[in-house]
Amino acid sequence: MDKIIKTIAEELGIKEKQVENAIKLIDEGNTIPFIARYRKEVTGGLSDEILRDLGERLNYLRNLEQRKEEVVKSIDEQGKLTDEILQAVAIAKTLAEVEDIYRPYKQKKKTRATVAKAKGLEPLANIILEQKETKNIKEIAKEYVNIDKLSDEDKKNKDKVVASAEDAIAGALDIIAEIISDEPKYRKQIKKFCYREGLVVTKKASKENEKSNYEMYYDYKEAIKYIPSHRILAINRGEKEGFLKVSLEKPEDKILNYIERDIIKGETQFTTMLKETILDSFKRLIEPSIDREIRSDLTEKAEEKAIKVFGKNSKQLLLGAPIKGKTVMGFDPAYRTGCKIAVIDETGKVLDYTTVYPTEPQNDVEGAKKELLKLIEKDKVDMIAIGNGTASRESEMFVADMIKEAKRDVHYVIVSEAGASVYSASKLATEEYPDINVSIRGAISIARRLQDPLAELVKIDPKAIGVGQYQHDVNQKKLSESLTAVVEDSVNKVGVDVNTATPSLLSYVSGINNTIAKNIVKYRDENGKLKNRKELLKVPKLGKVAFEQCAGFIRIYDGDNPLELTAVHPESYEATEKLLAEIGFNKNDLKDKEKLEDLRNKLKSINIEKTAKELDIGEMTLGDIIEELSRPGRDPREDMPKPILRSDVLKLDDLKEGMVLTGTVRNVIDFGAFVDIGVKHDGLVHISEMSDKYIKNPSEVVSVGDIVKVKVINIDKERQKVALSMKV
C-alpha cells in the first residue's frame, strides 16, 4: 500500500499524507463531492478533479498489484520462479509489462513451437542457441529423426513425425523463434524504438476514387510520438468504416540488429539460420502483437483525453448561467412536421403549446407570426429559446423578423437542443408530461434549458449532450462513468432545492441513489414541503450515512433554519452559530437584506487562524463557512457568462473578412473551439488563432459557454465554413 501511495503522490504532485487520507475516506464509502467539500482539512483541500484522478489511479494500481501476485503465484507453481523474475515483476509499472513477463509461462495454445517441443526438439534448439557445437548441425539433427521409431498410426499424425534432419532443424528454429518472441526485454526495447522513431501510416482502403471525410488520410504518415489524440480517433473511425488501411512503420533494421547483437555470438555455422529465425520471430510473432499493443495504447490514451475534454465541456454546459424569473417560449425548429412551440412560466410550468409552419414546404409565415404574437402577448413572454438543430437558422430569421412586431420587448437565444429528442421519448418525459405529445416535449425541454440548464440536462443521458469529440468512438463504459462523475460534481457544486427538485436531479446528490430520490419526492408529495434537513431522516432508506453525505448539498429556502439556504453542513451548525454570535449576529439575520451588508463587512475582518482555533474547526472549513454566510442562497452559476440575447440575424453573405463579432463557445476540442456567431454553422477558431502566446490545449483559453470576441479571417461559402481568430 505504501508503494501505491508513493506512486500516486508523485504522479499527481501532492503529498503522501494527502493521498493516504483520501484513500482512507474513499475506502470508508465517502463520495468524492463530500470529501472535496467537507473533508478539506483531512485531504489538504484536494479538488474533486484531483480526487477522481486519485480514485482512478488507486483502482488501476490495486488491480496491478493483484495481477502481480497472480503472476508470481502461477510461475511459482510451475517451479520456474527466480529472483530475476520477482525483481522484474516488482518494478513493472503497467499491466502490459507484467503480461510481457508472464508470456513465456502462460499455458499456450497449439503453436509451431509447442508441436516441435512435443516432438522432443527442445535440446536441439538449445544446441543451436548456445552456438558452441562444432560438429555439423545436420549430423546432430539426424539423431532427432523419429520416423522409423513410430507406429503406423503415429506416422499418420504430422504433429509427431520428424521425417528428416531439415525437419528437425526447422522445428528447433520454431522453438527459438518463440523464445525470442517471449523475451520481455526485447519486447520492451522494441516498443521504445517504435515510440521513439515509428510512424503511423494510413492509405486509402479501396481503389475507387471515393470521396469521404478521411481524404487527408488517404496517403498519410505521422510520428507515433507526436500524433494527437483527435487524429488517432479519426484514423480508427476511418479504418472501422472501411475507408482506411492503417499500419505502423518501424525502424526494422535497428530492431533486428539489437536482437542479433544479443543472441549471435560471433560467426559460426549457426549465424545465418539464427538471423533468419530472428527475422521470422519478429515478422510472424513479435510485430503483429506489438502493433496491436501500440495501437491499443495510443487509442486508450486518445480516448482518455477525449473523455476528459468531453467531461470538461459537459461541466461548463451543465454549469451554464440560469435565466431566472422569465417566461420563456421554447421553439423547436423543423421543416415538414412544423416548428413545435411551448411557453413556460418562470417556475417551469407549461402555459401553452402549439405547432406552427413558417418553414418549408408550407411557408406559412403570416399564420405562424399571428399565432406566436398572440401567445407572446397573452403569456407575457420575455424570451424565445430556439433549438440549434435542423431548420434552426430559417426559424431564427423568422423569429428575428416577428419580434420586431411584438408589443413587448422580446429577445431570442440559440440553445443547444442536443438530446432533446432522446428526452422527449424517454420514460421520464412520459411521467412528467403524460398528456403532452412527444414532439412538444422537446420544445418544453429547450425552454427549460434556458431557465435552468443543470436541472434540465440531468434528465438526459450525458452522452447525448453532444459537446465532445468522437464520443461514440471511445470506451462507452469509461465515458459513462466519467460523465456521471461530472454531473455529480456539477449538481453538488450548485446544491439542490429539495422541495422542487426532480428525482433525476436528486439522484446525483452525494449519498442519494435513484430509490432514495424517488422516496424523497414521494415523502414531499405526502407530507408537504420539508422544513429542515433533519426531516430527510424520515425518508425511507435514507439513513445516517446517506444523511451525512447529502445534507450539505441540500437547500431548504423557506425552512426553519436559515443556515439551510447555504452549503454549511449540519456538523458545523454549532460552530457557525458561535461565529455569528461572536460578531454580534444570529442565523436569522441571513434573511434580512439590510443586516446582510453589515454581516459581510464583519466577516471580512475575521482572523481565520485565531478564530478557527477558538471554534475548534479547521481553517479551510471556516473559510468556506464565511464565504457561505457572505452570500446565503447564492447560486455559483450566477458568476458564469450569461447567454447572448439576440434580436436580429446574420447570414453567411453578411460576413466579411476582418469583421469583429461576439459569439458563444459551443464546443472545445483538441485543435480549437467552435463558436456560434449567429450564422448557420458555428465558426472554428483554430488553436493557433486563440492566443499570441503558445498554448498546448484550447481549454487553457476557453470553455463551453464562454462569450468571446472573434474576428472573421476566412469564409468558405461553398463548404459553408467560417474561420475565426480570437487575436482581435
Q: Report the pLDDT averaged over residues 644-673.
A: 80
Torsion 587-589-592-594 (CA) sign: negative
> What is the residue-wise DSSP string for 86-118?
HHHHHH--SHHHHHHHHGGGSPP-S-HHHHHHH
Bond preceding residue 288 cis, omega within 30 of 0: no
The candidate with the shortest Cα–Cα distance to 643, out of 445, 384, 355, is: 384
Q: What is the pLDDT of residues 523-562, one digit of tens each?
A: 999 999 999 999 999 999 999 999 999 999 999 988 999 9
Domains and CATH numbers, the chain: 2-75 (1.10.10.650), 108-182 (no CATH), 328-451 (3.30.420.140), 652-725 (2.40.50.140)
Q: For residue range 618-655, list pLDDT tens digits in order.
A: 999 999 999 999 988 888 888 777 777 776 666 777 78
pLDDT tens digits for 62-76?
999 999 999 999 999
Phi, psi of 618 (to 5 degrees): -70, 155
Portion of the chain with pLDDT greater than 70, in percent: 98
Q: Which of 56-60, 179-183, 383-387, 414-418 has the lowest mean pLDDT?
A: 414-418
Mean pLDDT across 9-27:
96
Residue-wise pLDDT tens digits, 562-583? 999 999 999 999 999 999 998 9
Dihedral-angle region of residue 348 (phi above 0 means left; psi in -120 to 50 means alpha; beta otherwise): left
Strand, helix or coil at 554?
strand
The pLDDT-based confidence of 432 (bands split at 50, 70, 90) is confident
Range among 199-213, 362-376, 413-427 with highest mean pLDDT value? 362-376
What angle, rounded to 10 degrees, do the helices at 608-615 and 573-582 form?
120
Gap between the Cα atoms of 114 and 100, Å rounded = 19
- Residue with cell string 495454445: 109
Predicted local distance difference test score (pLDDT) of residue 717: 81
pLDDT category of residue 661 using cuts at 50, 70 and 90: confident
Residue 49 pLDDT > 60, yes or no?
Answer: yes
Per DSSP, the three-state class of 132 is coil
Contacts of 170 (CB under 8 A, 6+ apart): none
Mean pLDDT of 436-450: 92
Report CA-CA distances (Å) from 22 to 51, 209, 510, 545, 646.
8, 57, 16, 18, 47
Burial of 405 (0-12, 13-18, 19+ CB in 10 A): exposed
Give the closest residue to 227 by CA, choosing from 253, 246, 204, 251.
246
pLDDT the model gives residue 309: 82
Residues 197-250 pLDDT 10s: 999 999 998 766 677 788 889 999 999 999 988 899 999 999 998 899 999 999
Among residues 231, 226, 235, the alpha carbon closest in space to that of 204 is found at: 235
Q: Return the pLDDT at 474.
A: 82
What's the rounded mean pLDDT across residues 357-367?
A: 93
**Residue 564: what pLDDT?**
94
What mean pLDDT comes out for the span 313-341?
90
- What pLDDT score does 71 carry? 95
Residues 685-698: what's their mean pLDDT? Answer: 88
Q: Which helix (H) or strand (E) holds 665?
A: strand 660-669
Q: How much is the pLDDT for 181?
A: 95
Distance, in Å, from the CA atom of 554 to the CA atom of 566, rounded to the nearest integer, reads: 9
| Rounded-to-integer distance, Cα 176 and Cα 136, Å | 19
Residue 578's pLDDT is: 93
Q: Is the pLDDT of residue 468 over 60?
A: no
| Strand ranges of the sheet holding 328-332, from the earlier edge strand across to the other edge | 350-356, 339-344, 328-332, 383-387, 411-415
Tell me what pLDDT residue 629 has.
Answer: 92
Cα–Cα distances in Å, from 107 out to 78, 97, 98, 267, 657?
Answer: 11, 18, 16, 35, 66
- Exposure string (b/e) for 162-182, b if CB count within 10 Å is 16 or more? beebebbbbbbbbbbbbbbbb
Would you place residue 439 in the very low, low, confident or very high pLDDT band (cuts 50, 70, 90)? Answer: confident
Q: How confident is the model at residue 425 (pLDDT cuts 50, 70, 90)?
A: confident
Question: Mean of the pLDDT values across residues 33-52?
Answer: 95
Q: Which three cell numbers stand for residue 539?
A: 425518508
Q: Which residue has the higher pLDDT, 718 or 442?
A: 442
Residue 119 three-state SS: coil
Q: Return the minimum-mean-pLDDT range out of 217-231, 244-258, 663-677.
A: 663-677
User: Residue 42 half-sphere exposure, CB side, CA atoms within 13 Å?
Assistant: 15
How sure is the predictor about 470, in pLDDT bands with cuts at 50, 70 and 90? Answer: low
Tell me the average pLDDT of the chain.
90
Q: Is residue 33 scored above 90 in pLDDT?
A: yes
More confident residue, 439 or 284: 284
Comparing 265-269, 565-569, 578-582, 719-723, which segment has the lowest mean pLDDT? Answer: 719-723
At 467 the pLDDT is: 59
Asked if 410 contacts 403 with a C-beta cutoff of 8 angstroms, the reply is yes
Q: Which residues pair with 685 in a beta bridge?
A: 673, 724
Q: CB of 487 within 8 A of CB of 462? A: yes
The three three-digit cell numbers of residue 350, written as one number = 407549461
Closest CA to 247 of 285, 203, 196: 203
Tell me what pLDDT residue 209 has.
64
